[in-house]
Amino acid sequence: MSILTIGLLVLFLGVAFMSLPNLNRALKQHDREQWERLIGSHSRFMAYFDRLTLFSWTLQRRFEVSDNVDIQYEGYQAYKQATRVKYMLIFGLTMVAIGGYFSLFAT
């Protein structure tokens, strides 16, 4: 049961660290059109999905095609953070799966 709890905690921390505010700010300042495509919705409900869209855009290294040096620099910094968060999410999901298995089938 403790493995399940640790997995959920790591998963929650991964989701909490998923935002990339510096890259978001750089895109908003230097490439407004790309920012509108990524962070298009303005509703409070869709804010999480906008964060997820920017996160996956960063993991795909789409910032490399930008002509602006600031976006490329912030993109590389955000890519490092996004990679750590990706592995944190994978580790958390693995711990949840292992903890769930042991809590159901272990005696």
Taking 90 as the threshold, does the pLDDT of residue 71 lie above it? Answer: yes
Whole-number average pLDDT of the chain: 90
Taking 70 as the threshold, does the pLDDT of residue 43 lie above it? Answer: no
SS3 75: helix
Taking 90 as the threshold, does the pLDDT of residue 1 lie above it? Answer: no
pLDDT value for 36: 85
pTM (two decimals): 0.86
Cα distances from 32 to residues 24, 51, 59, 71, 105, in angstroms, run 10, 16, 20, 11, 52
**Domain ranges in the chain?**
2-105
